Structure 1
Amino acid sequence: MAWLGGTCGSCAYCRRGDENLCLSPVFTGWDRDGGYAEQLTVSEEFAYAIPPRFSDEQAAPLLCSGIIGYRALKRAAVPEGGRLGIYGFGGSAHLTAQMARHQGAQVYVMTRSESARELARELGAVFVGDAYESPPDPLDSAILFAPVGDLVPAALKALDRGGTLAIAGIHLSDIPPLNYSADLFYERQLRSVTANTRADGEEFWSLAAEIPLAPTTTVYPLAEADRALRDLAGDRITGAAVLRV
Protein backbone atom coordinates (compact mmCIF):
# COMPACT_ATOMS: atom_id res chain seq x y z
CA MET A 1 0.00 0.00 0.00
CA ALA A 2 1.11 3.53 -0.71
CA TRP A 3 0.79 6.88 1.11
CA LEU A 4 -2.70 7.44 -0.31
CA GLY A 5 -4.83 4.87 1.51
CA GLY A 6 -8.38 6.08 0.85
CA THR A 7 -10.54 8.83 -0.64
CA CYS A 8 -14.18 9.86 -0.39
CA GLY A 9 -14.87 9.24 -4.08
CA SER A 10 -17.60 11.87 -4.17
CA CYS A 11 -15.98 15.31 -3.92
CA ALA A 12 -15.34 17.40 -7.04
CA TYR A 13 -11.66 16.44 -7.09
CA CYS A 14 -12.33 12.72 -6.91
CA ARG A 15 -15.02 12.95 -9.59
CA ARG A 16 -12.69 14.71 -12.02
CA GLY A 17 -9.84 12.23 -11.50
CA ASP A 18 -7.73 14.25 -9.05
CA GLU A 19 -8.23 11.98 -6.05
CA ASN A 20 -4.88 13.05 -4.57
CA LEU A 21 -6.61 16.39 -3.86
CA CYS A 22 -9.59 14.71 -2.12
CA LEU A 23 -11.23 16.75 0.65
CA SER A 24 -11.40 13.72 2.98
CA PRO A 25 -8.34 11.58 2.22
CA VAL A 26 -6.90 8.76 4.33
CA PHE A 27 -3.11 8.48 4.48
CA THR A 28 -1.03 5.48 5.47
CA GLY A 29 0.96 6.08 8.63
CA TRP A 30 -1.02 9.26 9.35
CA ASP A 31 -4.69 8.33 9.50
CA ARG A 32 -4.12 4.57 9.77
CA ASP A 33 -1.33 2.18 10.76
CA GLY A 34 1.59 2.30 8.39
CA GLY A 35 5.39 2.17 8.32
CA TYR A 36 5.93 1.27 11.98
CA ALA A 37 3.13 -1.30 12.17
CA GLU A 38 3.71 -5.04 12.25
CA GLN A 39 0.19 -5.61 10.93
CA LEU A 40 -2.26 -3.39 9.08
CA THR A 41 -5.37 -3.49 6.94
CA VAL A 42 -5.74 -1.96 3.51
CA SER A 43 -8.72 -1.33 1.28
CA GLU A 44 -8.49 -3.63 -1.74
CA GLU A 45 -9.10 -0.66 -4.05
CA PHE A 46 -5.93 1.03 -2.76
CA ALA A 47 -3.64 -2.02 -2.79
CA TYR A 48 -1.10 -2.71 -5.52
CA ALA A 49 0.14 -5.96 -7.02
CA ILE A 50 3.93 -5.97 -6.73
CA PRO A 51 5.72 -7.20 -9.87
CA PRO A 52 7.46 -10.48 -8.97
CA ARG A 53 10.87 -9.21 -10.06
CA PHE A 54 11.07 -7.00 -6.93
CA SER A 55 12.01 -8.38 -3.51
CA ASP A 56 10.33 -6.98 -0.37
CA GLU A 57 13.44 -4.90 0.32
CA GLN A 58 13.37 -3.44 -3.18
CA ALA A 59 9.61 -2.89 -3.26
CA ALA A 60 9.36 -1.08 0.09
CA PRO A 61 10.78 2.30 -1.05
CA LEU A 62 8.98 2.07 -4.38
CA LEU A 63 5.59 2.28 -2.66
CA CYS A 64 6.34 5.80 -1.42
CA SER A 65 9.57 7.26 -2.76
CA GLY A 66 9.07 5.68 -6.17
CA ILE A 67 5.44 6.61 -6.70
CA ILE A 68 5.85 10.20 -5.52
CA GLY A 69 8.97 10.52 -7.65
CA TYR A 70 6.92 9.41 -10.64
CA ARG A 71 4.24 11.97 -9.80
CA ALA A 72 6.90 14.68 -9.48
CA LEU A 73 8.40 13.69 -12.83
CA LYS A 74 4.99 14.07 -14.47
CA ARG A 75 4.47 17.46 -12.79
CA ALA A 76 7.90 18.63 -13.98
CA ALA A 77 6.76 18.19 -17.60
CA VAL A 78 10.15 17.19 -18.99
CA PRO A 79 10.13 17.51 -22.80
CA GLU A 80 11.33 14.56 -24.87
CA GLY A 81 15.12 14.40 -24.65
CA GLY A 82 15.10 17.38 -22.27
CA ARG A 83 17.40 18.42 -19.46
CA LEU A 84 16.11 17.63 -15.96
CA GLY A 85 17.68 19.11 -12.84
CA ILE A 86 17.31 17.21 -9.55
CA TYR A 87 17.96 19.03 -6.26
CA GLY A 88 18.63 16.63 -3.40
CA PHE A 89 19.42 13.00 -4.14
CA GLY A 90 17.90 10.69 -1.54
CA GLY A 91 15.38 7.86 -1.59
CA SER A 92 12.96 9.37 -4.10
CA ALA A 93 15.41 11.29 -6.27
CA HIS A 94 17.68 8.36 -7.11
CA LEU A 95 14.65 6.43 -8.36
CA THR A 96 13.31 9.40 -10.31
CA ALA A 97 16.67 9.82 -12.03
CA GLN A 98 16.43 6.26 -13.33
CA MET A 99 12.91 6.86 -14.63
CA ALA A 100 13.90 10.12 -16.31
CA ARG A 101 16.92 8.56 -18.02
CA HIS A 102 14.78 5.63 -19.19
CA GLN A 103 12.46 8.18 -20.82
CA GLY A 104 15.38 9.83 -22.61
CA ALA A 105 16.08 12.83 -20.39
CA GLN A 106 19.52 14.15 -19.50
CA VAL A 107 19.82 14.33 -15.71
CA TYR A 108 21.69 17.04 -13.79
CA VAL A 109 22.03 16.46 -10.03
CA MET A 110 22.72 19.09 -7.36
CA THR A 111 23.14 17.77 -3.81
CA ARG A 112 25.26 18.39 -0.70
CA SER A 113 26.14 14.76 0.06
CA GLU A 114 29.30 13.36 -1.51
CA SER A 115 28.00 9.77 -1.30
CA ALA A 116 24.79 10.88 -3.05
CA ARG A 117 26.86 12.64 -5.71
CA GLU A 118 28.78 9.42 -6.29
CA LEU A 119 25.52 7.47 -6.65
CA ALA A 120 24.26 10.08 -9.14
CA ARG A 121 27.37 9.56 -11.26
CA GLU A 122 26.88 5.79 -11.14
CA LEU A 123 23.30 6.24 -12.33
CA GLY A 124 24.39 8.22 -15.38
CA ALA A 125 23.89 11.89 -14.48
CA VAL A 126 25.55 14.12 -17.08
CA PHE A 127 26.42 16.70 -14.41
CA VAL A 128 26.78 16.37 -10.64
CA GLY A 129 27.43 19.35 -8.38
CA ASP A 130 26.83 20.90 -4.98
CA ALA A 131 23.29 21.80 -3.91
CA TYR A 132 23.62 25.48 -4.87
CA GLU A 133 25.89 24.99 -7.86
CA SER A 134 24.62 26.26 -11.21
CA PRO A 135 24.35 23.53 -13.86
CA PRO A 136 26.40 24.16 -17.00
CA ASP A 137 23.33 24.16 -19.27
CA PRO A 138 19.86 25.74 -18.90
CA LEU A 139 17.33 23.20 -17.60
CA ASP A 140 14.03 22.38 -19.27
CA SER A 141 12.62 21.07 -15.99
CA ALA A 142 13.67 20.59 -12.37
CA ILE A 143 12.46 18.72 -9.31
CA LEU A 144 13.24 19.86 -5.77
CA PHE A 145 13.41 16.91 -3.39
CA ALA A 146 15.40 18.60 -0.62
CA PRO A 147 12.99 20.32 1.85
CA VAL A 148 14.97 23.55 1.58
CA GLY A 149 13.08 26.64 0.47
CA ASP A 150 16.34 28.51 -0.17
CA LEU A 151 16.91 26.23 -3.16
CA VAL A 152 13.76 27.41 -4.96
CA PRO A 153 15.30 30.64 -6.34
CA ALA A 154 18.44 28.73 -7.34
CA ALA A 155 16.41 26.11 -9.19
CA LEU A 156 14.23 28.72 -10.92
CA LYS A 157 17.29 30.64 -12.09
CA ALA A 158 18.66 27.42 -13.60
CA LEU A 159 15.52 26.95 -15.74
CA ASP A 160 15.41 27.83 -19.41
CA ARG A 161 12.50 29.87 -20.77
CA GLY A 162 9.24 27.95 -20.36
CA GLY A 163 10.80 25.60 -17.81
CA THR A 164 8.97 23.99 -14.89
CA LEU A 165 10.08 23.44 -11.28
CA ALA A 166 8.15 20.79 -9.32
CA ILE A 167 8.52 20.68 -5.52
CA ALA A 168 8.16 17.05 -4.47
CA GLY A 169 8.18 17.23 -0.67
CA ILE A 170 5.28 17.44 1.77
CA HIS A 171 7.31 19.86 3.89
CA LEU A 172 9.42 22.81 2.71
CA SER A 173 11.13 25.53 4.71
CA ASP A 174 10.17 29.11 3.85
CA ILE A 175 10.89 30.27 0.30
CA PRO A 176 12.83 33.56 0.12
CA PRO A 177 11.24 36.46 -1.78
CA LEU A 178 11.28 35.91 -5.53
CA ASN A 179 12.05 38.50 -8.17
CA TYR A 180 9.44 38.22 -10.87
CA SER A 181 11.69 39.36 -13.69
CA ALA A 182 14.71 37.24 -12.70
CA ASP A 183 12.98 34.14 -11.33
CA LEU A 184 9.58 33.67 -12.99
CA PHE A 185 9.39 35.69 -16.20
CA TYR A 186 9.55 33.99 -19.60
CA GLU A 187 6.79 31.62 -18.48
CA ARG A 188 8.76 29.65 -15.94
CA GLN A 189 6.38 27.61 -13.78
CA LEU A 190 6.48 26.62 -10.10
CA ARG A 191 4.38 23.56 -9.12
CA SER A 192 3.78 21.55 -5.97
CA VAL A 193 3.23 17.80 -5.72
CA THR A 194 0.48 16.37 -3.49
CA ALA A 195 0.48 12.59 -3.05
CA ASN A 196 -0.30 10.19 -5.88
CA THR A 197 -3.42 8.97 -7.58
CA ARG A 198 -4.09 5.25 -8.04
CA ALA A 199 -3.62 5.80 -11.77
CA ASP A 200 -0.13 7.14 -11.01
CA GLY A 201 0.55 4.01 -9.00
CA GLU A 202 -0.47 1.63 -11.76
CA GLU A 203 1.51 3.57 -14.37
CA PHE A 204 4.51 3.66 -12.05
CA TRP A 205 4.57 -0.09 -11.38
CA SER A 206 4.44 -0.81 -15.10
CA LEU A 207 7.37 1.55 -15.70
CA ALA A 208 9.33 0.27 -12.68
CA ALA A 209 9.16 -3.31 -13.94
CA GLU A 210 10.02 -2.28 -17.50
CA ILE A 211 13.24 -0.41 -16.56
CA PRO A 212 13.62 -2.23 -14.08
CA LEU A 213 14.21 0.21 -11.22
CA ALA A 214 17.16 -0.64 -8.98
CA PRO A 215 16.67 0.89 -5.51
CA THR A 216 19.75 1.53 -3.38
CA THR A 217 18.69 0.57 0.16
CA THR A 218 19.98 0.40 3.72
CA VAL A 219 18.02 -2.11 5.81
CA TYR A 220 17.29 -1.73 9.54
CA PRO A 221 15.35 -4.11 11.79
CA LEU A 222 12.08 -2.59 13.00
CA ALA A 223 13.45 -2.39 16.56
CA GLU A 224 16.12 0.03 15.31
CA ALA A 225 13.78 2.47 13.62
CA ASP A 226 15.07 5.22 15.91
CA ARG A 227 18.62 4.67 14.58
CA ALA A 228 17.33 4.77 11.02
CA LEU A 229 15.69 8.14 11.70
CA ARG A 230 18.88 9.51 13.28
CA ASP A 231 20.90 8.36 10.28
CA LEU A 232 18.36 9.93 7.95
CA ALA A 233 18.49 13.24 9.82
CA GLY A 234 22.28 13.10 9.85
CA ASP A 235 22.48 12.52 6.08
CA ARG A 236 24.17 9.14 6.62
CA ILE A 237 21.91 7.13 4.29
CA THR A 238 22.56 6.78 0.58
CA GLY A 239 19.39 5.92 -1.33
CA ALA A 240 16.49 4.75 0.84
CA ALA A 241 16.19 3.32 4.34
CA VAL A 242 14.02 0.22 4.76
CA LEU A 243 12.61 -1.22 8.00
CA ARG A 244 12.40 -5.01 8.04
CA VAL A 245 9.50 -6.34 10.15
Structure 2
Amino acid sequence: MKAWVIDRLGPIDPDASEGPLALVERPLPEPGPGELRLKVAACGVCHTELDEIEGRTAPPRLPVVPGHEVVGRVDKAGPGAGRYAPGTRLGVGWIHRSCGGAHENLDPAFEATGRDADGGYAEYMLVPEAYAVPIPDTLDDVEAAPLLCAGAVGWRALKLTGLEDGQVLGLTGFGGSAHLVLPVVRHRFPKAKVMVFARDAEARAFALEQGADWAGATEQRPPEPCHAIIDTTPAWTPVVEALASLRPGGRLVINAIRKEEADKAALLRLSYAEHLWLEREIKTVANVTHADLTEFLALAGALKLAPTVERYPLARANEALRALRRGRIKGAKVLTVGDAR
Protein backbone atom coordinates (compact mmCIF):
# COMPACT_ATOMS: atom_id res chain seq x y z
CA MET A 1 0.00 0.00 0.00
CA LYS A 2 1.01 3.64 -0.43
CA ALA A 3 1.64 5.69 2.68
CA TRP A 4 3.17 9.05 3.52
CA VAL A 5 5.54 9.01 6.48
CA ILE A 6 7.31 11.49 8.70
CA ASP A 7 10.90 10.28 8.43
CA ARG A 8 12.67 13.34 9.85
CA LEU A 9 11.83 16.38 11.98
CA GLY A 10 12.43 19.98 11.07
CA PRO A 11 10.85 23.25 9.93
CA ILE A 12 8.49 23.14 6.98
CA ASP A 13 9.29 25.46 4.09
CA PRO A 14 5.86 26.49 2.75
CA ASP A 15 7.41 27.61 -0.56
CA ALA A 16 9.42 24.43 -1.22
CA SER A 17 8.65 22.26 -4.22
CA GLU A 18 8.68 19.03 -2.21
CA GLY A 19 8.47 17.61 1.32
CA PRO A 20 8.01 17.46 4.24
CA LEU A 21 6.70 13.86 4.04
CA ALA A 22 8.17 10.86 2.19
CA LEU A 23 6.01 8.52 0.09
CA VAL A 24 6.68 4.82 0.73
CA GLU A 25 5.31 1.41 -0.23
CA ARG A 26 4.36 -0.81 2.71
CA PRO A 27 2.73 -4.23 3.09
CA LEU A 28 -0.87 -4.25 4.29
CA PRO A 29 -0.89 -4.04 8.11
CA GLU A 30 -2.33 -7.08 9.87
CA PRO A 31 -4.83 -6.37 12.68
CA GLY A 32 -3.92 -7.79 16.05
CA PRO A 33 -6.27 -8.79 18.90
CA GLY A 34 -9.13 -6.31 19.21
CA GLU A 35 -8.03 -4.34 16.13
CA LEU A 36 -9.63 -3.48 12.81
CA ARG A 37 -8.01 -2.75 9.48
CA LEU A 38 -9.70 0.13 7.69
CA LYS A 39 -9.55 0.95 4.01
CA VAL A 40 -9.08 4.71 4.24
CA ALA A 41 -11.52 6.91 2.28
CA ALA A 42 -10.63 10.38 3.59
CA CYS A 43 -8.25 11.97 6.07
CA GLY A 44 -8.30 15.55 7.29
CA VAL A 45 -5.14 17.66 7.30
CA CYS A 46 -4.62 19.18 10.75
CA HIS A 47 -2.27 21.78 12.27
CA THR A 48 -1.16 19.04 14.65
CA GLU A 49 0.67 17.41 11.74
CA LEU A 50 2.75 20.60 11.53
CA ASP A 51 3.49 20.29 15.25
CA GLU A 52 4.61 16.69 14.80
CA ILE A 53 6.86 17.37 11.82
CA GLU A 54 8.40 20.49 13.35
CA GLY A 55 9.00 18.73 16.69
CA ARG A 56 6.61 20.51 19.06
CA THR A 57 4.77 17.24 19.70
CA ALA A 58 7.34 14.89 18.22
CA PRO A 59 6.48 11.25 17.48
CA PRO A 60 8.28 8.82 19.79
CA ARG A 61 9.57 6.88 16.78
CA LEU A 62 10.25 7.48 13.11
CA PRO A 63 9.09 6.81 10.51
CA VAL A 64 5.39 7.18 11.35
CA VAL A 65 2.31 7.71 9.18
CA PRO A 66 0.55 10.93 10.27
CA GLY A 67 -3.18 11.69 10.09
CA HIS A 68 -5.86 11.54 12.77
CA GLU A 69 -9.09 12.72 11.09
CA VAL A 70 -9.79 9.45 9.32
CA VAL A 71 -12.89 7.97 7.68
CA GLY A 72 -12.62 4.42 6.39
CA ARG A 73 -14.42 1.11 5.98
CA VAL A 74 -13.73 -2.13 7.82
CA ASP A 75 -11.53 -4.31 5.64
CA LYS A 76 -10.45 -6.99 8.13
CA ALA A 77 -10.96 -7.73 11.83
CA GLY A 78 -8.35 -9.15 14.20
CA PRO A 79 -9.01 -11.82 16.83
CA GLY A 80 -11.78 -10.79 19.23
CA ALA A 81 -12.90 -7.81 17.15
CA GLY A 82 -16.42 -8.57 15.96
CA ARG A 83 -18.51 -5.49 16.70
CA TYR A 84 -18.43 -4.12 13.15
CA ALA A 85 -19.14 -6.04 9.95
CA PRO A 86 -16.87 -5.76 6.89
CA GLY A 87 -17.65 -2.58 4.98
CA THR A 88 -18.91 -0.67 8.03
CA ARG A 89 -17.93 3.01 7.82
CA LEU A 90 -15.98 4.18 10.87
CA GLY A 91 -14.08 7.23 12.02
CA VAL A 92 -10.77 7.52 13.87
CA GLY A 93 -9.73 10.59 15.86
CA TRP A 94 -6.64 11.78 17.74
CA ILE A 95 -7.24 9.26 20.52
CA HIS A 96 -5.83 5.92 19.34
CA ARG A 97 -6.13 4.17 22.68
CA SER A 98 -6.07 4.98 26.39
CA CYS A 99 -7.24 3.70 29.77
CA GLY A 100 -10.95 3.95 28.97
CA GLY A 101 -11.69 6.11 32.03
CA ALA A 102 -13.52 9.43 32.28
CA HIS A 103 -10.22 11.33 32.06
CA GLU A 104 -8.57 9.13 29.45
CA ASN A 105 -7.42 12.24 27.55
CA LEU A 106 -5.10 13.04 30.48
CA ASP A 107 -4.00 9.50 31.35
CA PRO A 108 -0.33 8.49 30.82
CA ALA A 109 -1.69 5.57 28.77
CA PHE A 110 -2.99 7.98 26.10
CA GLU A 111 -1.70 7.21 22.61
CA ALA A 112 -2.33 9.49 19.64
CA THR A 113 -3.28 8.40 16.13
CA GLY A 114 -0.67 9.49 13.61
CA ARG A 115 1.93 10.16 16.29
CA ASP A 116 2.20 7.16 18.63
CA ALA A 117 0.58 4.86 16.06
CA ASP A 118 0.35 5.01 12.26
CA GLY A 119 -2.50 7.16 11.02
CA GLY A 120 -4.54 7.90 7.93
CA TYR A 121 -2.17 9.39 5.34
CA ALA A 122 -2.26 5.93 3.78
CA GLU A 123 -4.48 3.54 1.88
CA TYR A 124 -5.03 1.33 4.94
CA MET A 125 -4.60 1.69 8.72
CA LEU A 126 -5.23 -0.15 11.98
CA VAL A 127 -7.41 1.02 14.86
CA PRO A 128 -8.45 -0.58 18.16
CA GLU A 129 -12.12 -1.52 17.74
CA ALA A 130 -12.93 0.16 21.07
CA TYR A 131 -11.75 3.54 19.73
CA ALA A 132 -13.44 3.50 16.32
CA VAL A 133 -16.61 5.57 15.95
CA PRO A 134 -19.51 4.95 13.52
CA ILE A 135 -20.11 7.80 11.06
CA PRO A 136 -23.74 9.02 10.73
CA ASP A 137 -25.34 8.33 7.35
CA THR A 138 -26.16 12.03 6.96
CA LEU A 139 -22.45 12.89 6.53
CA ASP A 140 -20.30 12.00 3.54
CA ASP A 141 -16.71 10.81 3.91
CA VAL A 142 -15.03 14.14 3.22
CA GLU A 143 -17.45 16.15 5.38
CA ALA A 144 -16.99 13.77 8.28
CA ALA A 145 -13.18 13.76 8.33
CA PRO A 146 -12.58 17.24 9.89
CA LEU A 147 -15.24 16.53 12.50
CA LEU A 148 -13.01 13.85 14.04
CA CYS A 149 -10.49 16.37 15.39
CA ALA A 150 -11.27 19.99 14.52
CA GLY A 151 -14.93 19.37 15.31
CA ALA A 152 -14.53 17.10 18.33
CA VAL A 153 -11.87 19.18 20.05
CA GLY A 154 -13.95 22.29 19.34
CA TRP A 155 -16.87 20.53 21.00
CA ARG A 156 -14.70 19.75 24.03
CA ALA A 157 -13.54 23.37 24.18
CA LEU A 158 -17.13 24.61 24.00
CA LYS A 159 -18.13 22.34 26.89
CA LEU A 160 -15.20 23.67 28.94
CA THR A 161 -16.36 27.28 28.49
CA GLY A 162 -19.45 26.65 30.61
CA LEU A 163 -21.40 28.86 28.19
CA GLU A 164 -25.09 29.43 28.87
CA ASP A 165 -27.78 30.50 26.44
CA GLY A 166 -27.97 34.26 26.03
CA GLN A 167 -24.30 34.77 26.86
CA VAL A 168 -21.52 36.07 24.61
CA LEU A 169 -18.89 33.70 23.20
CA GLY A 170 -15.69 34.84 21.53
CA LEU A 171 -13.73 32.81 18.98
CA THR A 172 -10.12 33.84 18.48
CA GLY A 173 -9.03 32.55 15.08
CA PHE A 174 -11.54 31.22 12.58
CA GLY A 175 -10.10 28.13 10.94
CA GLY A 176 -10.86 24.43 10.86
CA SER A 177 -12.13 24.17 14.45
CA ALA A 178 -13.82 27.52 15.08
CA HIS A 179 -15.88 27.40 11.90
CA LEU A 180 -17.39 24.14 13.21
CA VAL A 181 -18.03 25.50 16.71
CA LEU A 182 -20.15 28.37 15.37
CA PRO A 183 -23.07 26.29 13.97
CA VAL A 184 -23.07 24.13 17.10
CA VAL A 185 -23.39 27.26 19.26
CA ARG A 186 -26.27 28.44 17.07
CA HIS A 187 -28.02 25.10 17.63
CA ARG A 188 -27.32 24.62 21.34
CA PHE A 189 -27.54 28.26 22.44
CA PRO A 190 -29.87 30.07 20.02
CA LYS A 191 -29.84 33.30 22.06
CA ALA A 192 -26.05 33.46 22.40
CA LYS A 193 -23.95 36.02 20.55
CA VAL A 194 -20.70 35.05 18.81
CA MET A 195 -17.80 37.47 18.39
CA VAL A 196 -14.88 36.46 16.15
CA PHE A 197 -11.34 37.84 16.39
CA ALA A 198 -9.04 37.16 13.44
CA ARG A 199 -5.98 38.91 12.05
CA ASP A 200 -6.91 38.12 8.45
CA ALA A 201 -9.67 40.13 6.74
CA GLU A 202 -10.70 37.12 4.66
CA ALA A 203 -11.20 35.04 7.81
CA ARG A 204 -13.31 37.81 9.33
CA ALA A 205 -15.47 38.00 6.22
CA PHE A 206 -15.84 34.20 6.27
CA ALA A 207 -16.96 34.37 9.93
CA LEU A 208 -19.67 36.89 9.11
CA GLU A 209 -20.81 34.73 6.17
CA GLN A 210 -21.12 31.81 8.58
CA GLY A 211 -23.32 33.79 10.97
CA ALA A 212 -21.04 35.50 13.49
CA ASP A 213 -22.61 38.55 15.14
CA TRP A 214 -19.38 40.56 14.90
CA ALA A 215 -15.89 40.04 13.52
CA GLY A 216 -12.87 42.20 14.22
CA ALA A 217 -9.08 42.19 14.25
CA THR A 218 -7.22 40.44 17.06
CA GLU A 219 -6.55 43.72 18.90
CA GLN A 220 -10.09 45.08 18.56
CA ARG A 221 -12.63 45.04 21.38
CA PRO A 222 -16.07 43.55 20.64
CA PRO A 223 -19.31 45.53 21.03
CA GLU A 224 -19.81 43.84 24.39
CA PRO A 225 -17.37 41.82 26.52
CA CYS A 226 -17.45 38.03 26.35
CA HIS A 227 -18.49 35.56 29.01
CA ALA A 228 -16.09 33.04 27.44
CA ILE A 229 -13.58 32.94 24.59
CA ILE A 230 -12.09 29.95 22.76
CA ASP A 231 -8.60 30.56 21.36
CA THR A 232 -7.46 28.30 18.49
CA THR A 233 -4.39 30.24 17.36
CA PRO A 234 -0.70 29.23 17.58
CA ALA A 235 0.32 32.64 19.00
CA TRP A 236 0.47 34.44 22.36
CA THR A 237 -0.81 37.84 21.23
CA PRO A 238 -4.41 36.59 20.80
CA VAL A 239 -4.32 35.15 24.34
CA VAL A 240 -3.40 38.51 25.86
CA GLU A 241 -5.95 40.36 23.74
CA ALA A 242 -8.68 37.82 24.50
CA LEU A 243 -8.22 38.22 28.25
CA ALA A 244 -8.80 41.95 27.84
CA SER A 245 -12.12 41.19 26.09
CA LEU A 246 -13.48 38.98 28.89
CA ARG A 247 -16.10 40.06 31.38
CA PRO A 248 -15.32 39.75 35.11
CA GLY A 249 -15.53 36.05 35.95
CA GLY A 250 -15.03 35.13 32.27
CA ARG A 251 -13.10 32.12 31.05
CA LEU A 252 -10.56 31.79 28.25
CA VAL A 253 -10.24 28.24 26.87
CA ILE A 254 -7.04 27.69 24.89
CA ASN A 255 -7.56 25.02 22.25
CA ALA A 256 -4.03 24.59 20.89
CA ILE A 257 -1.12 22.19 21.28
CA ARG A 258 1.57 24.83 20.97
CA LYS A 259 2.27 28.57 21.02
CA GLU A 260 5.00 30.13 18.92
CA GLU A 261 8.17 31.11 20.76
CA ALA A 262 8.63 34.01 18.33
CA ASP A 263 5.49 35.64 19.78
CA LYS A 264 6.36 35.02 23.42
CA ALA A 265 7.25 38.69 23.99
CA ALA A 266 3.51 39.42 23.86
CA LEU A 267 3.28 38.01 27.38
CA LEU A 268 5.30 40.99 28.65
CA ARG A 269 2.19 43.09 28.01
CA LEU A 270 0.16 40.97 30.40
CA SER A 271 -1.27 43.18 33.13
CA TYR A 272 -2.84 41.69 36.23
CA ALA A 273 -5.38 44.52 36.54
CA GLU A 274 -6.38 44.60 32.86
CA HIS A 275 -6.21 40.91 31.94
CA LEU A 276 -6.55 38.67 35.00
CA TRP A 277 -8.18 40.54 37.87
CA LEU A 278 -11.86 40.08 38.76
CA GLU A 279 -11.70 36.28 38.63
CA ARG A 280 -10.97 35.91 34.95
CA GLU A 281 -9.51 32.47 34.33
CA ILE A 282 -7.62 30.40 31.75
CA LYS A 283 -8.28 26.75 30.96
CA THR A 284 -6.62 24.55 28.35
CA VAL A 285 -7.86 21.69 26.19
CA ALA A 286 -5.82 18.49 26.09
CA ASN A 287 -6.72 15.84 23.52
CA VAL A 288 -10.20 14.36 23.20
CA THR A 289 -11.94 11.36 24.73
CA HIS A 290 -13.84 8.62 22.95
CA ALA A 291 -16.99 10.10 24.48
CA ASP A 292 -16.22 13.50 22.88
CA LEU A 293 -16.06 11.85 19.45
CA THR A 294 -19.26 9.88 19.99
CA GLU A 295 -21.21 12.88 21.30
CA PHE A 296 -20.05 15.26 18.63
CA LEU A 297 -20.58 12.93 15.68
CA ALA A 298 -24.12 12.23 16.84
CA LEU A 299 -24.77 15.97 17.09
CA ALA A 300 -23.10 16.68 13.74
CA GLY A 301 -25.14 13.95 12.10
CA ALA A 302 -28.40 15.36 13.47
CA LEU A 303 -27.43 18.85 12.27
CA LYS A 304 -26.13 17.51 8.95
CA LEU A 305 -23.09 19.62 9.73
CA ALA A 306 -21.11 20.23 6.54
CA PRO A 307 -17.67 21.79 7.05
CA THR A 308 -16.18 24.01 4.38
CA VAL A 309 -13.48 21.79 2.84
CA GLU A 310 -10.79 21.86 0.21
CA ARG A 311 -10.06 18.43 -1.29
CA TYR A 312 -6.62 17.06 -2.16
CA PRO A 313 -5.91 13.57 -3.52
CA LEU A 314 -3.60 11.51 -1.29
CA ALA A 315 -0.76 12.04 -3.79
CA ARG A 316 -0.82 15.79 -2.97
CA ALA A 317 -0.45 15.43 0.80
CA ASN A 318 2.76 17.47 0.86
CA GLU A 319 1.12 20.26 -1.09
CA ALA A 320 -1.74 20.37 1.43
CA LEU A 321 0.66 20.55 4.37
CA ARG A 322 2.73 23.32 2.80
CA ALA A 323 -0.46 25.30 2.12
CA LEU A 324 -1.51 24.80 5.74
CA ARG A 325 1.89 26.08 6.88
CA ARG A 326 1.42 29.23 4.82
CA GLY A 327 -1.82 29.98 6.66
CA ARG A 328 -4.83 31.90 5.33
CA ILE A 329 -6.91 28.74 5.48
CA LYS A 330 -10.65 28.88 4.85
CA GLY A 331 -12.32 25.86 6.43
CA ALA A 332 -10.50 22.52 6.40
CA LYS A 333 -8.27 20.54 4.04
CA VAL A 334 -9.04 16.87 3.41
CA LEU A 335 -7.09 14.16 1.60
CA THR A 336 -9.24 11.83 -0.50
CA VAL A 337 -8.14 8.22 -0.76
CA GLY A 338 -9.57 5.59 -3.10
CA ASP A 339 -13.36 5.78 -3.38
CA ALA A 340 -14.03 8.66 -0.97
CA ARG A 341 -17.52 10.09 -1.35
Which bin holds the TM-score, normalised by the shorter protein? over 0.9
Partner of 1:235: 327
What amino acid is aligned across from residue 170 of structure 1 in structure 2? I
Partner of 1:165: 252
CA drift at 1:191: 0.5
- For 1:203, which of 292, 295, 301 is the aligned residue? 295
In 1, Cα distance between equivalents of 2:325 and 2:95: 24
- For 2:110, which of 18, 22, 25 is the aligned residue? 25
In 1, Cα distance between equivalents of 2:286 and 2:276: 22
Deviates more, 1:57-66 or 1:70-79: 70-79
In 1, Cα distance between equivalents of 2:141 and 2:203: 23
- 1:103 corresponds to 2:194: no
- For 1:217, which of 309, 316, 321 is the aligned residue? 309
In 2, Cα distance between equivalents of 1:84 and 1:231: 29
8 Å contact 2:158–2:181 — kept in the other structure?
yes
Partner of 1:64: 149
SS at match of 1:171: coil
Give runs of aligned pairs for residues 90-129 of structure 1, distance below 5 A.
90-104=175-189, 105-129=192-216
CA drift at 1:51: 0.3
What amino acid is aligned across from residue 165 of structure 1 in structure 2? L
SS at match of 2:134: coil
- For 2:121, which of 27, 36, 42 is the aligned residue? 36
| Length-normalised TM-score, structure 1 | 0.93
CA drift at 1:185: 1.3
CA drift at 1:71: 0.6
8 Å contact 1:79–1:140 — kept in the other structure?
no
Partner of 1:154: 241
SS at match of 2:241: helix
Identity across aligned pairs (percent)? Answer: 44
Unaligned runs of 5+ in 1: none
CA drift at 1:82: 1.0
In 1, Cα distance between equivalents of 2:155 and 2:282: 17
What amino acid is aligned across from residue 330 of structure 2 in structure 1? T
8 Å contact 1:116–1:239 — kept in the other structure?
no
Partner of 1:194: 286
In 2, Cα distance between equivalents of 1:183 and 1:237: 29
Q: Aligned pairs, how many? A: 239
| Length-normalised TM-score, structure 2 | 0.68
RMSD of aligned residue pairs (Cα, Å): 1.3
More strand as a share of residues: 2
In 2, Cα distance between equivalents of 1:236 and 1:38: 29
In 1, Cα distance between equivalents of 2:304 and 2:167: 21
What amino acid is aligned across from residue 152 of structure 1 in structure 2? V
- 1:48 corresponds to 2:133: yes
8 Å contact 2:142–2:334 — kept in the other structure?
yes
| Deviations 1:16-54 (CA, angstroms, capped at 9, x unpaired) | x11100112110000111132221111111010100010
More helix as a share of residues: 1
